[in-house]
């Protein structure tokens, strides 16, 4: 079942965002349309998941980067402010480069043949709550990604969130079995998957 998961593209004809059922995508792609990402509708929350990820460190060194900072796992799981977290984090030189998680997400872009779509500044590093939303729908998201040329499926490995635990650690989630942890921001490289909203 692929309930609540769709493919988003910005139609070349008029650059309007279209959310389409997965089984209708191949014929559009064959006509030159480019997928902006996979859309998940989960209750009242909507998230666009990018078609790729990379492995990066969270920051160049330990930093209080201005994202939601919580030491308790149950509170961290309720953080759905990835966009605000990332906006704060990229004001710090330790995080702003494309070589680090928030900087990479903020500068990521995915557009149609006309150059219209979800450009840099529209993407962010998901919060822990948003990561859990992706994990809860991972199989359906990966099914949708399998229809998109060049897309990388979500891996069963550790992913960074934009939710901070303290100056040293940020919250992480492993997608093989849903373990929530926290890891050293500057010492370890984990996967990073940009997310967005329909713009």
Read off the pLDDT of residues 136-181 as tens digits, 9 standing for 90 and up. Answer: 999 999 999 999 999 999 999 999 999 999 999 999 999 999 999 9
Q: Is the dihedral of CA 124, 5, 130, 172 positive or negative?
A: negative
pLDDT at position 60 is 97
Q: Report the alpha-carbon distance of residue 190 to residue 192 in Å, rounded.
A: 7
pLDDT at position 43 is: 85
3-class secondary structure, 74 = helix
| Cα dihedral 92, 192, 148, 35 in deg (nearest 10) | -20
Question: Could you read off the pLDDT of 89-99 as tens digits, one per residue?
Answer: 999 999 999 99
> What percent of the chain has pLDDT above 70?
99
**pLDDT for 49:** 98
Rounded CA-CA distance 49/51 in Å is 7
The Cα–Cα gap between 172 and 10 comes to: 31
Residues 173 and 161: beta-carbon distance below 8 Å: yes
Q: How much is the pLDDT for 199?
A: 83
| Residue 148, number of CB atoms within 10 A of its CB | 21
The mean per-residue pLDDT over the stretch 56-83 comes to 96
Provide the phi-psi class of 107: left if phi over 0, else alpha when psi is between -120 and 50, else beta: alpha
Q: pTM value?
A: 0.96
Model confidence band, residue 2 (pLDDT cutoffs 50, 70, 90):
confident
Cα torsion through 101, 162, 58, 164, rounded to 10 = 170
Span 20-41, mean pLDDT?
A: 98
Check residue 1 and give its pLDDT: 63
Instruction: Summarize pLDDT for 34-64 with one digit per residue, the tens.
Output: 999 999 998 889 999 999 999 999 999 999 9
């Amino acid at each position: 079942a692929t309930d609540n998961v769709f493919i988003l593209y910005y139609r070349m004809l008029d650059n309007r965002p279209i959310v389409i059922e997965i089984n209708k995508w191949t014929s559009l792609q064959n006509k030159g349309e480019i997928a902006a990402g996979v859309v998940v509708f989960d209750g009242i929350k909507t998230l666009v998941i990018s078609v790729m990820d990379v492995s990066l460190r969270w920051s160049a060194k330990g930093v209080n980067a201005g994202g939601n900072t919580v030491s308790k796992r149950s509170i961290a799981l309720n953080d759905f402010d990835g966009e605000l977290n990332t906006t704060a984090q990229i004001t710090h030189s330790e995080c702003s480069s494309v070589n680090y998680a928030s900087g990479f997400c903020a500068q990521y872009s995915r557009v149609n043949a006309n150059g219209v779509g979800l450009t840099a500044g529209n993407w962010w590093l998901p919060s822990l709550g948003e990561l859990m939303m992706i994990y809860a729908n991972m199989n359906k998201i990966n099914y949708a990604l399998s229809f998109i040329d060049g897309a990388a499926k979500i891996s069963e490995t550790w992913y960074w969130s934009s939710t901070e635990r303290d100056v040293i650690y940020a919250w992480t989630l492993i997608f093989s079995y849903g373990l929530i942890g926290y890891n050293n921001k500057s010492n370890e490289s984990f996967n990073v998957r940009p997310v967005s909203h329909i713009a």
